[in-house]
Amino acid sequence: MSSALSQGVPLSAYLLLSAVLFALGVVGFLIKRNLITVFLSIELMLNAVNLSFVTFACQWHAVKGQIFVFFVMMVAAAEAAVGLAIIIAVYRARATLSVDRIDLMKL
Amino acid sequence: MNASLHLWLIPLAPFAGFVLNGLLGSRLPRWFTTSVGLLAPLVSFVVVINSIRAFTGAAQLPYVETCPHPWISVGSLHIDFSLVLDQLSLVMLLVITGVGFLIHIYSVGYMRGDPGYARYFSFLNLFLFFMSTLVLAGNALVLFVGWEGVGLASYLLIGFWFQRDVAANAGKKAFIVNRVGDFGFLIGIFLLLSNFGTLAFSEISAKLAGNPAWQGGALTLICLCLLFGAAGKSAQLPLYVWLPDAMEGPTPVSALIHAATMVTAGVYLVARTHFLFDHAPAALAVIAVVGAATAIFAAAMGLVQNDIKRVLAYSTISQLGYMFLACGVAAYSAAIFHLVTHAFFKALLFLAAGSVIHALGGEQDLRKMGGLRKKIPITFWTMTAAVFAIAGFFPFSGFFSKDAILYAAFLSGRNGQILWFVGLVTALLTSFYMFRLWYMAFFGEARSPDVHPHESPWSMLAPLVILAVLSIGGGWVGAERFGAFLAPSVGEHAALSTIPHLELILSIVAVLVALEGWLIADKLYRRRPERAAQWAAALPWGYKILLNKFYVDEFYSAVLVKPLLAVSKFFLDWVVDKGILGGFAWLLAGIATYAGMILQRWQSGNLRSYAAWLAAAAAVLLLFLLIPWHADWAASLHIILKGAGAER
Amino acid sequence: MYLALFFLFAAFAIAGAVNLLVQSHPINSALSLIVVMTSLAILYLLLGAEFLAAAQVIVYSGAVMVLFTFVIMLLNAGREEHTLGSRAARAIGFPAVVVILGVLASVVLRARGLTANGIQQGVTTTEELSRVLFRELLLPFEVTSVLILIAILGAVALARRGSGESEAGQ
Amino acid sequence: MTLLEFILWSIVKVAVVTVLLLVAVAYTVLLERKLVGRIQNRWGPSRVGPFGLLQPLVDGAKSFLKEDLIPTGVYKPLYLLAPIIALSSALISIGVIPFGAPGFGPKGFDLFQVSNVNIGLLVILGVTSIGVYGVALAGWSSNNKYSLLGSLRSSAQLISYELALGLSLVGVVLLAGSFNLRAIVEQQATHGIASWNIFGGFQFLAFFIYLMAAFAETNRSPFDLPEAESELTGGYHTEYSSMKFAMFFMAEYANMINVGCVATLLFFGGWTSPFGSHFDHFQNNFLNAVLPLFWFAFKVFLFLCLYVWVRGTLPRFRYDQLMNFGWRVLLPLAILNIVGTSLWLAYR
């Protein structure tokens, strides 16, 4: 069984994937015009970073790397709750979600 | 053997009371405020009583408690936060916590129903905290902390009814005048530091004792600076002006702070630093002159005042002058003795006056009083004890202490007799105005028939009675024994008369003078009330001067305050504020405006451009981290081009 | 098989991420992100982080993203409007992205000592994870609960329809 | 076993289990109709086949042959995707459920479980949480106010009760010290009914919470607000017809079966006999393999009967009651259960 089943994947591949996802997240932040999608891009970046953490945890056999991801998840959950609440508030105030139209501090 | 006396509890208990009442008092029920406010001085008092053990050998004197952590340590300067207990501070502490506790009790009745009840008690406790710190201080800096602190507490309490402009202004006046004195005190401290390299009283004293030839010069300057501070706090010439105005505070405050304790801090300071003054005879002479002048000057002003508390205020100034006089003739123990007895009878006078005011529903004008003798008998009798004490009748306490001062003055050098004579005249005036007050308030007919006086509650009367007992018996210990007890702290007063029975003769003269004052008052204000007005009409000029307090306030206002305000207006407002600061502000504003005009293009409000800048910054940071920077930029470039691996 | 699974799900992840960018309707973007997250969960499994894989699905795909779709549905967010947007984003942002990606890739590719993962390297059990989490990192863990509490309060405060004047007209 | 064998076996297992599950779904529908009929004092389906046993086949054929309508206003990609998500997430869960004793199969291969995963319980929870999207997207993409309301209700309800559901299971996990479903069952196997978690593990409260949350999670009465026909016509599946509706329908019943399986595994000792392991070991290998299957099926059957019973008797909750019950009653109770269980474990 063997070679095919136990063929390993170099960890650099995971890291590269993480970098690519991160870059895509940044691009999303730059080109998306919908506030929610921008927020989604942020989540994408967070996930990309999480992948790096898990990869390094695997590399160094360090449990704390995984725990860090755990914490990131919790923070992301909190962030999503507050962020979406803000988005709802913004939408109520301006009736739009386009980031290009939300560019003033005041109403 | 050296059992701890827990001196730190003495200041800390009132401080805890201050914090508790200050933070929570207004939200908690009144009984809580009351019990905290009363418990704090009681704890201190008990600790003080307990520390008497030190004098039965439980601890070595002077007993020192030092905070284990150095307070200030800069270069070669080390100042500890140390508390010292010796005979002098024990006496002071007994007065402060004992009389303080009585006045706290009195306040429960007097301040009942005031909306600022909790605030009042927290301030009163704060005052006790600072005052006990001041008295226990082992070095000049700790003393200064207490000194400034009591000034603060005094300011807060004078302006306690800050809704009234008069009270608020009186508070400010007291604070500012005290600052003037404190300025002198602070300079004195700096001079001490530069001359002795230390601020601890014990070390300075030891250095001076080791060098008896050191006289005058810098020491005189130091002493004059300290005297200036002491004059400010103890309302001596020329800085006395704040004390009469300080009567705007609640009466128990006047009794505690502006009669019994805080104003005597100046006397305490002189006694505490007596080893310096002993080496500066010139400064001593100045003290004696200032004291004597203040005594007679203030007594003269007290003659014609119509506000019951103001009479007492001028009397306080005058009595403080006595104490300074005693210090000036190096009779420190006599000064402290008078301080103690004065604390008893003056506190009593104020509290009784407070009781009178309370009975009349807030009336302070003597001319509207009268006939109160029958209506408020307890107040009357306690007040009577105090009046006799301050007038110096045998065997009331004032007799012993005043006698000791006059005796010491008489024997001090060439000009001693002049000082003695001034003191004697002051005694006459004192006796006169005190009996004037007595007659106007308690005898004759009621001059405001529509008020119905009523005796005060027991929480107010009990302190009156206790203080009356002390006013009568407080002096029986005798000046010699008292002096002997204090001698380890303030030194022997070794002037002995060569004339036999001199002391007895002087005493009799003093009592006779006091009696004369009584008789004049009796004549003018009881038997022939119209004569007083005739006298005033006969001497319109003198009467007016006295009534207007020698125009000192006006003089200060014209000579100091107004020019200062004018200069401030011109210099601070126009030159500094509008010119320098304003110009600078305009300059900064201009820079900010123009910078903003340039930079605002970045602050477009567009989220995506922000994200772009963020990404750019991240990229730059990554590059920066990646490239091993070398001093030689060419080498860096080489490494960048060749890759990071090339550096190895 | 690891290799195959990796490539399969890496491809899914990248495809999802690209789709997130390409789609103009937020709900499609959100669903693409769910695909990315679920693929990442599989990759976590491959890396031996099984608890995290489950947490990724439960927390991210199952809770956070549901919240997103919920909000999208609630606001009935439509297609993106086409606006010009910012020149800075294009002129500075895209080069920056290229630099970031380039730097990261160069670092990763040049790094030595990175192992390969396969069946031999074992799995981090939930027990190991919780042992560290609840012994060494108990305080941070508890602090996180405070964070979440604050987030809840904040979200409620923000999203609640206040009695303010702005709502009066609606 | 080679990779090829592994893949082949797995495919066979998946196929068998899926078919079995779908059949079970079909007959659960029949069971429900029959039981509800009896509860309401009528016969239920009885015309097709003996005792109406062929009714499911006919139903299936009917759904299949109906016209497939797609309304014009829908957002088509998601409209089509939603039922697939719903059904597939319902079917995936069964993959980690062990329904028989371990050790029967060639070369250490597990015959009665598709895949023995360390974190089996978490996988089920995760997959369940994905199932929300089916309902949510169906309602939104239908572009119909009833659908949208139904799906919003449903999403909120599912998210809310998922918490209570997950927390109610923590007690069991604490007892077993593992997320592995087989380990959880083994831990209850010793003394039969006395060592089941619901009795021996003192998890009755947890079971109650789980039951309530499970009713809500599967949108079943009394928590069937997302499809409350009297208020919302059909809730999220108003705009669905024919096979797509059938997929939602199957998903619902598959979920019921899943929930029943999980309850059986976590609280009722799984495939083990209620009489304890003493009576469970026979010389006959065949009996040893089949009896556990019987026990498992029997327990799930009882659970499904409970489901139907509740549906037949209890009225529907109001929406605010539902939310209050979830957040103010179940959640604190679940936390209480965790605290109690961990204290008990610590001082046992």
Span A59-73, pLDDT tens digits: 888 888 888 898 999
pLDDT at D71 over 60: yes
C36: pLDDT strictly greater than 90:
yes
pLDDT digits (tens, 9 = 90+) for C101-112: 888 888 888 777
pLDDT at res. B637:
65
- Supply the pLDDT for residue A20: 92
pLDDT surpassing 50 at residue B393: yes
Check residue C164 and give its pLDDT: 46
Is residue D108 very low, low, confident or very high in pLDDT (cuts 50, 70, 90)? Answer: low
Does B13 or B551 have the greater pLDDT score? Answer: B13
Helix (H) or strand (E) holding B341: helix B332-359
pLDDT of residue B646: 43
Q: Is residue B644 predicted with pLDDT exceeding 70?
A: no
Domains of chain C from N-terminus onward: 2-80+89-136 (1.20.120.1200)
Average pLDDT of B629-637? Answer: 63
Q: Is B626 helix (H, G, I), strand (E, B) or coil?
A: helix
Give pLDDT, residue D174: 85
Give me the residue spans of the domains in chain D.
Answer: 73-274+285-347
pLDDT band at C84 (very low <50, low <70, confident <90, very high): low
Q: How high is the pLDDT of residue C118? A: 60
Task: Report the C-alpha gap between A72 and A20 in whole angstroms.
Answer: 19
Which chain B residues are closer than 8 Å to A30 by Cβ? 608, 611-612, 615
Residues in chain D, overall count: 348
Note the pLDDT of residue C88: 67
Asked if B85 and B63 count as a contact pair (C-beta separation under 8 A), the reply is: yes
Q: Which residues of C touch D335 (CB under 8 A)?
A: none
CA distances from A38 to A90, C93, C147, C155, D150 (A): 14, 15, 23, 19, 28
More confident residue, D297 or B601: D297
pLDDT at site C73? 82
Mean pLDDT of chain D: 82
Q: Looking at per-residue confidence, does D241 or A105 come out higher?
A: D241
Would you place residue B59 in the very low, low, confident or very high pLDDT band (cuts 50, 70, 90)? low
Q: Which residues contact D172 (CB under 8 A, 6 or more apart)?
A: D184, D197, D201, D203, D206, D266, D267
Is residue B129's pLDDT more than 90? yes
Give CA separation, D12 vs A26, C5, D34, D88, D114, in Å: 44, 21, 33, 18, 10
Q: Is A49 on the interface with B (CB under 8 A)?
A: no
Tell me the average pLDDT of chain B.
83
Residue D277's pLDDT is 63
- C54-87 b/e (C-beta count within 10 Å ≥ 16 → b): bbbbbbbbbbbbbbbbbbbbbbebeebeeeebbe
Given a cut of 60, whether residue D280 has pLDDT beyond it is: no
Average pLDDT over residues B477-485: 81
Record: contact B606-A99, CB cut-off 8 A: yes
pLDDT band at B643 (very low <50, low <70, confident <90, very high): low
Instruction: Burial-class residue B540 by CB neighbours within 10 Å (0-12, 13-18, 19+).
Output: exposed
Per-residue pLDDT band for C170 (boundaries 50, 70, 90) equals: very low
Within 8 A of A60 by CB-CB distance, chain C residues are none
pLDDT at A44: 92
Which pLDDT tens digit goes with each residue over B29-48?
A: 888 888 888 999 999 999 88
Whole-angstrom distance, CA of residue B554 vs CA of residue B558: 6
- In this prediction the pTM is 0.58
Model confidence at B635, pLDDT cuts 50, 70, 90, reads low
Nearest to C68 by CA among C28, C119, C104: C28
Q: Is A105 on the interface with D (CB under 8 A)?
A: no
D129–C58 CB contact, under 8 Å:
yes
For chain A, the domains span 5-94
Q: Judge whether residue B101 has pLDDT over 60.
A: yes
Q: Which CATH architecture has domain A5-94?
A: Orthogonal Bundle (1.10)
Is the per-residue pLDDT at D106 higher than 80?
Answer: no
Residue D114 has pLDDT above 50, yes or no: yes
B276-288 per-residue burial string, b: 16 or more CB within 10 A, e: under 16:
bbbbbbbbbbbbb
Question: Residue B126's pLDDT is what?
Answer: 92
With bands split at pLDDT 50, 70 and 90, how would you rate the model's confidence at C11?
Answer: very high
pLDDT digits (tens, 9 = 90+) for C117-140: 665 567 777 888 888 888 888 888
D7 touches chain A (CB under 8 A): no
CB B351 within 8 A of CB B342: no
Chain C contact residues (CB < 8 Å to D): 1, 27-28, 31, 34, 38, 41, 50-51, 53-55, 57-58, 61-63, 66-67, 69-70, 72-74, 123, 125-127
C62 contacts in chain D (CB < 8 Å) = 125-126, 128-130, 132, 162
- Please report the pLDDT score of residue B147 as a whole number: 92
Contacts A29 to B, Cβ<8 Å: 608, 611, 615
Size of chain B, expressed as the number of residues it contains:
648
Q: Could you tell me if residue D183 is left (phi over 0), alpha (psi between -120 and 50 degrees) or otherwise beta? A: alpha
